[in-house]
Structure 1
Amino acid sequence: MLPVTADDHPHAGGPVAVLANPTAGRGRHRGLLSRLLDGLAVAGRPVEVLSAASPAQAEAVCRAAVSDGAGALVAIGGDGTVHRALQAAAGTDVPFGAVPAGTGNDFAVDTGFPADPLAAVAVIADALRAGRSSLVDLARMTGADGGERWYGAVLAAGFDAIVNERANRMRWPRGPRRYDLAILVELARLRPRRYTLRLDGVPHELDAVLVAVGNCPSYGGGMRICPDADPTDGLLDVVVGGRIDRRTLIRIKPRIYHGTHVEHPLVRTYRARTVELSAEGITTYADGERSLDLPVTVSAVPGALRLLR
């Protein structure tokens, strides 16, 4: 990660805007919030907690804070909270801190923040005091209608995205059992789909059940779907699981936690600066959040984010 000094940031003395999700990780860190805010205040900056009642509002208040001259933006929560805040911080001079306090904390951990929330706050506060930040890459995706989204970790555009979409449509059961049931339903319906990939302009036609485009290695709370992805190399890693049947997918799935699934003969890996991806009937999920329908174009944007590390 390329270090950046405070002199490069015109709002270095501004307040620290904090987007906190008290329900992240099923609320297990709710009682820590006041201590986390106190830890940030040690840096000697005003700390302003942003209030939002929905994901759309979370993005809006983060954008407003950046526009109003925030000296830093900090997300306390999981990958979903980070994803919302990234939409405001990406491509700006405002440094960003991620405090892992959710069920999935893949971006925070993969970019070097401690897994313990209090330890992560201490790192962020020290960087604020020292005026220190480090540049990392982000991925920018563009839909067919020209709409844009940023993401930090992984874009899912295959079986996992389909399962998420199924779970989001279900009203019963509640909690994690809904996701488990969605997996069973979609496993029963599993079939390869025809994808068109253009990697830096080179076309690839293939049938696949699993497609992921990673800026970082992990998604889903530690599943190393793109194990060799590096958020400082200016490239995207693409992992494709081909014509895999149900039994093979069930066997391969546990290997994703160790990243060894890429050794399977039906799994292919690619690397590119720009990935054009199309298939029928797929809604993508970026950082675990519902995102754009295919087709999309994903570009690696080097140094798009300043991390408070």
Structure 2
Amino acid sequence: MHAVTADDHLPSPDGPVAVLANPTAGRGRRRGLLPELVDRLSAAGRPVRLLRAGSAVEAEAACRAAVGEGVSALVAVGGDGTVHRAMQAVAGTTVPFAPVPAGTGNDFAIETGFPSDPRAAADVVAAALREGRSRPVDLARMTGYDGAVRWYGAVLAAGFDAIVNERANRMWWPRGARRYDLAILVELARLRPRRYTLTLDGERVDVDAVLVAVGNSASYGGGMRICPDADPTDGLLDVVVGGRFDRRTLIRVKPRIYAGTHVEHPLVRTFRARTVTVAAEGITTYADGERSLPLPVTVTATPTALHLLR
């Protein structure tokens, strides 16, 4: 089997537009909107092909297969999780891509300039397809200690938020948002700074911290601007480290993340680098809100890795 390169996946100008849609995105509130979105995308004059998938793994595989078969573009209808799965198939290729925000968290789509309304976003995508227009943006390329590679567009969480997500995913009760709330309470009770080793463009920094985030763009979790100065077109990663917070301080600082003013707190440090290695014991990272690789990981800013239809 030969190595896959960007040249293996050239878009076919006459090929269909593949659409990955997550019917459970946004807690299913926009399930009935899909036919209208498909109609709006069809206004570009190209056939639209809906990809079928019953799980996140199947969704990713379906996107890879579609790109391998020469689709002219890939569109993800859903939230950051759906976008993240689809992104794995087009990262580092010339196949154009677009997110149509229809989930609970739509951080990557909003941060890269797409309208928050899915109908308006679909119209933007259709216009870009008609006019043959795309805009390159950076992605973050993660490499695990075992060589596994993943891409993300928004933020990698490697601290308290990742630990809470991991706790919530292990719980079978309660269902829905209450499970996440309970996981927060459990992990707040267990809160302690952990020792991290960061390597920033070759320079080692040892820190005790409860929050560590590596941003290609600014926000995660539905508008929390954890890396407020991150720019997905500057070829750099923004690293935000929240140091030795106790429970009371963390609870007080957390709401400030929505405005991005948490970086002014004296226990918060920020860095900027092209390549970042994050190492700590016992933490599984979450990228774009999706369970990802265990630490240690190396993250590299990859310019023009994605071509957006807008």
- TM surpasses 0.5: yes
Provide the secondary structure at the position in 2 that maps to 1:161.
Answer: helix
Provide the secondary structure at the position in 1 that maps to 2:188.
Answer: helix
Percent identity between the two aligned chains = 78
Please report how far the alpha carbon of residue 10 of structure 1 lies from its aligned counterpart in structure 2 after TM superposition: 4.8
| Counterpart-to-counterpart distance in 2, 1:276 and 1:155 | 12
| Counterpart-to-counterpart distance in 2, 1:228 and 1:56 | 32
Aligned to 2:256: 255
Aligned to 1:146: 147
| Counterpart-to-counterpart distance in 2, 1:77 and 1:13 | 25
Does the alignment pair 1:61 with 2:43? no
Deviations 1:156-190 (A, max 9, x none): 00000000000000000000000000000000000
- Letter in structure 1 aligned against 2:234: D
Aligned to 1:287: 288
Does the alignment pair 1:162 with 2:163? yes
CA contact (8 A) 2:284 2:293 kept: yes
| Counterpart-to-counterpart distance in 1, 2:37 and 2:113 | 18
Aligned to 2:195: 194
- Letter in structure 2 aligned against 1:75: A
| Counterpart-to-counterpart distance in 1, 2:55 and 2:299 | 26
- Letter in structure 2 aligned against 1:227: P
Please report how far the alpha carbon of residue 14 of structure 1 lies from its aligned counterpart in structure 2 after TM superposition: 1.4
Please report how far the alpha carbon of residue 122 of structure 1 lies from its aligned counterpart in structure 2 after TM superposition: 0.3
1:1-309 matches, within 5 Å, as 10-309=11-310
- Letter in structure 1 aligned against 2:173: W
Please report how far the alpha carbon of residue 11 of structure 1 lies from its aligned counterpart in structure 2 after TM superposition: 1.8
Q: CA separation of 1:31/1:193 partners in 2, compared to 1, >3 Å: closer, same or farther?
A: same
- Letter in structure 2 aligned against 1:186: E
Matched residues, number: 301
Which blocks of at least 5 consecutive residues in structure 2 are unaligned?
1-9
| Counterpart-to-counterpart distance in 1, 2:74 and 2:92 | 13
TM-score for both structures, normalised by structure 2: 0.97
Please report how far the alpha carbon of residue 31 of structure 1 lies from its aligned counterpart in structure 2 after TM superposition: 1.2
CA contact (8 A) 1:12 1:131 kept: no
| Counterpart-to-counterpart distance in 2, 1:99 and 1:33 | 11
- Letter in structure 2 aligned against 1:273: R
| Counterpart-to-counterpart distance in 1, 2:101 and 2:28 | 13
| Counterpart-to-counterpart distance in 1, 2:53 and 2:294 | 26
Provide the secondary structure at the position in 1 that maps to 2:71.
Answer: coil
- Letter in structure 2 aligned against 1:278: A
- Letter in structure 2 aligned against 1:84: R
Deviations 1:84-104 (A, max 9, x none): 000001001100010000000
After superposing on structure 2, the runs of 4+ consecutive aligned residues of structure 1 that deviate more than 2 Å are: none
Provide the secondary structure at the position in 2 that maps to 1:226.
Answer: coil
